[in-house]
Amino acid sequence: MFAIRCAAIPVLVSLVFTGCTHLPATQPVQPEVLAAMQPVEVKVGISQSELYAAFVRSNAAASGAAACAAVPGLGILLAAACGGAMGAVDASVNATRAKAAEESVRPLKDEIVDIKFDQLMNESLAQALQAVPAMQIANVAVTKVVNTQAYEKTFSAATSNAVMFVNVDYHMSVDFSTLEVSARSLLYPRGTAARTAAKQPATLAPTPSEPLLAVKNAVYRSSIFYQAKHPSAGTDATKNIEAWKADNARMLKTALQDGITQAGAMIAADLQRKYPAYEPATAKAEGGNSLKVNLVSQGNGGRLLRYPDGSLHLEAVPIMVAAAPVPPAKAASDITAPASVSAAQPVAETVAK
């Protein structure tokens, strides 16, 4: 579901709804089903309070436990103890790496302290979703409590026909070359009309046999990633940090504001894309980790890529101009995110199927 992306604060993006095993990471929505979901209440989950930096997490416990289990005569209990010991090593190593990442990112964090990320993201999503034809938005509100229990309470208490959860994250890459803004969206039917259209029981069971927010019950799932790589970034993290800090971090501020704008526009566009299959690729391209991906569109704004799991990646290289608002959403066939990128030229990371 919400994948942990080697983050310093993984809870920000690791909200786990039960029941996502073997389901595709993304799923487009049928137009008639989307129409039946109206009005929609939108909850924007942003549990982090500031920028953070990703780091490579230690997984010695997994490899250590496997190695111990392979030793003849060691026994299950001893193998488990071995794995547990390695887990303690992991915790110590990860704590050290998290502290180092926090210290490294602080100069950048201090530069953008005045950017009201929560407010801007909330406004971006509200504006973009309200422009989607036939969509009626009951309200769009940020929630800082991002966990399954809180979301289930929100869903149960809702009075709208459907509830859409959008979990947002923003951080620097491990080498500080790239700023990433990501959003994971799920849309759940709540009212009778919506649940009937989704071919689910017309009313919620008083004692459900499965979690309220089982992923298979979401009529729409999407993952979008905006990544802005500094044009002069190299392999030296310290030099990359200095590059982002230059000119009062103007380029970092521009990239963050553009990522906020594009996140809303990309979700709105994705809601309108073809069902059951996403639009055909204009060409094949190479994405992160040398994955073969579909090139959805390309222009002076950069590349919009569709990965094998259906996730959308806007690859962007920020330029030194202020970000301009994205025009209102149009018909799905008319929307290509790079065409609306005014402050960035694209580049992305990977979520493989």
Q: What is the pLDDT along the chain (353 residues), one digit of tens a residue?
A: 333 333 333 333 334 444 445 677 899 999 999 999 999 999 999 999 999 999 877 665 555 445 454 545 445 445 455 555 555 666 776 788 888 889 999 999 999 999 999 999 999 999 999 999 989 999 999 999 999 999 999 999 999 999 999 999 999 999 999 999 999 999 999 999 999 999 999 988 877 778 889 999 999 999 999 999 999 999 999 999 999 999 999 999 999 999 999 999 999 999 998 877 777 677 888 888 788 899 988 877 678 999 988 899 999 867 654 444 444 434 333 333 333 333 333 333 322 22
As a whole number of angstroms, the distance between CA 316 and CA 302 comes to 6
Residue 227's closest CA among 187, 293, 181?
Answer: 181
E strand or H helix at 342: none
* pTM, rounded to two decimals: 0.78
Secondary structure class of 245 (helix, strand, coil): helix
What's 277's DSSP letter?
A: S
- The phi-psi region of residue 138 (left if phi > 0; otherwise alpha if psi is between -120 and 50; otherwise beta) is alpha
**pLDDT score of 14:** 39
**pLDDT score of 42:** 97
Q: How buried is 150 (Cβ within 10 angstroms: 0-12 exposed, 13-18 middle, 19+ buried)?
A: middle
Secondary structure class of 317 (helix, strand, coil): strand
Residue 268's closest CA among 155, 139, 171, 134?
Answer: 134
As a whole number of angstroms, the distance between CA 7 and CA 62 comes to 18
β 344-345/312-318 pair status: antiparallel
Contact predicate 245/302, CB 8 Å: no
**pLDDT score of 282:** 74
**pLDDT score of 56:** 78
- Which residues share a beta bridge with 297? 304
Peptide bond before residue 39 is cis, with ω within 30 degrees of 0: yes
What's 190's DSSP letter?
A: -
E strand or H helix at 178: strand 178-189
